[in-house]
Structure 1
């Protein structure tokens, strides 16, 4: 079951990454951008959209590799290189892009708060992971990276929930979209917390 779940998530992530890379055509009327005409007209939405979507798609796949115990032990140097790409991608591209995009999501205050909270925690978790590894605390670094990656996986969860929920609910209603927005990342994060608490690893008091 575990292998099936991770296989499904990886394939979903790969599909999401491939779709993200199609935006390298930089056509402001392509795909999702067709319904964001007002945002595009603002003049500063597009740069943040491209950095969030394209870099976000890449770090999603990198994240799957980075959390692999086998990969970390077999390819230590490459793990470090990809780790830097992941960190820089989150902190300087994907997270800032997501932050700006949040203000163009006209789905109500609850959705905005969800996206802002997710972005803030994404930056915090990723930064904490960097601090831990610089201090040589490898086990704690791993936990913080899992926390960060749990929020990266929200990209998959959000789209899956929207796809399935659209058949049963009216997503034009703010409450429906708000539930999906929060559900796309909070359960992921909680799953990581429960998993590592069972392993008696609790690096939450100090960063």
Structure 2
């Protein structure tokens, strides 16, 4: 986090709170997929060949939990003042991302809008698994500066759950048609997030470990 992120009135501090609020709201809304009959509340755009096997329920449940937990990993007061709690939340986040990513990879092959959507969501799942796995590996090796950078990348991909929902209305309104727009969204939901994360990381000043001890 930049110095601005460390001050209550800093721009990045405000941004973090905005991300936290949207993440928690979208995450809680996504738990409807865990309620019997909850899939019936999902728009047709989420239809998938593997939904009937429970893969979407599995993906939604773990992804929603990762989305809710993720922002708390970047709160400096929690990270520095409660390192044990930070590690526990981080472990839960990693487990949820890996489970949701594996389920998301399976779901990508069931996309009803064809191979472009399969590629978009499949690459998202693979990138999510790799960035999260790398973040976990670096934390275990106590390479915390690098760990934080990979966690930022991982959470940028977790936030695809938010940006996907921001783009979904355009699938219904787009002059290019529902299917073609959804194919574009399968990439737009996460590629700009990852680019933004890389720009942010490139702009940061080198500094020491953000973690105590």
Instruction: Say whether the fold is shared (TM-score over 0.5).
Output: yes
Deviations 1:73-119 (A, max 9, x none): 1221110001110111111x211111121122111222211111111
What residue is the counterpart of 2:42 in the other structure?
Answer: 32
Of residues 173, 185, 192, the one that matches 2:190 is: 185
Q: Distance in 2 between matches of 1:141 and 1:29?
A: 36
Please tell me the root mean square deviation across aligned C-alpha atoms, in Å. 2.3
What residue is the counterpart of 1:11 in the other structure?
Answer: 21
Query: Under a length normalisation based on structure 1, what TM-score does the superposition of the two structures give?
Result: 0.83
Of residues 103, 116, 120, the one that matches 1:97 is: 103
State yes or no: 1:21 paired with 2:31.
yes
What residue is the counterpart of 1:157 in the other structure?
Answer: 163
Q: Distance in 1 between matches of 2:12 and 2:70?
A: 17
Question: How many corresponding residue pairs?
Answer: 195
State yes or no: 1:69 paired with 2:76.
yes
Query: Under a length normalisation based on structure 2, what TM-score does the superposition of the two structures give?
Result: 0.81
Q: Is the 8 A contact 1:28 1:40 kept in 2?
A: no
Structure 2, gaps ≥5 residues long:
1-10, 207-213
Deviations 1:52-74 (A, max 9, x none): 10111111010010122222112
Structure 1, gaps ≥5 residues long:
202-207
State yes or no: 1:139 paired with 2:145.
yes
